Amino acid sequence: MTMWRIALMTGIMFPSLQACGTATIEDAVPVGALHSAQPAAPPATFSATGAYPNLNVIPVPASEQLTEGEVERKTEELRRRRETLSAGGSVAPSDMQALRTLGNSHADDALKVIEGR
């Protein structure tokens, strides 16, 4: 058989193969479903489109800025906290023993609850 006869027979015997790629989304979905009932809100913009911002206008701060003294005090406070935590002095030794005891008994208590004892 020649190629044209095979092509002719497949076109006659399997017409569904010819229609495989012709469907579009508009054919499958109703026209009203493609467009939402409410138009989408435009994205929020902070300046007019196509206009350059005026760099000569000084922006107004949202809140009061920290003074130099406040910055130094906060920095020193954070530095002391970091040193305390890195030295391991965050938990007192008596509290550490109590936490270890609690941690060791926690597993036993959980097993008792699971086993129903």
Render each residue's pLDDT in the chain as its tens digit; 117 residues: 576 677 666 666 555 555 556 677 777 776 666 665 565 665 555 556 677 778 888 888 888 888 999 999 999 999 999 888 887 755 566 777 888 888 888 888 888 888 887
* Residue 57 Cα distances to 16, 53, 54, 60, angstroms: 68, 9, 6, 9
Which residue's entry shows tokens 């008792």?
112
Q: The whole model's pTM is what?
A: 0.28
Structure confidence at residue 115 (pLDDT): 87
Q: Residue 42: what pLDDT? A: 58
Collapsing DSSP states into helix, strand and coil, what is residue 45?
A: coil
Q: What is the pLDDT of residue 77?
A: 95
Supply the pLDDT for residue 78: 94
Distances (CA, A) of 31 to 28, 37, 41, 111: 9, 12, 21, 62
**pLDDT for 117:** 72
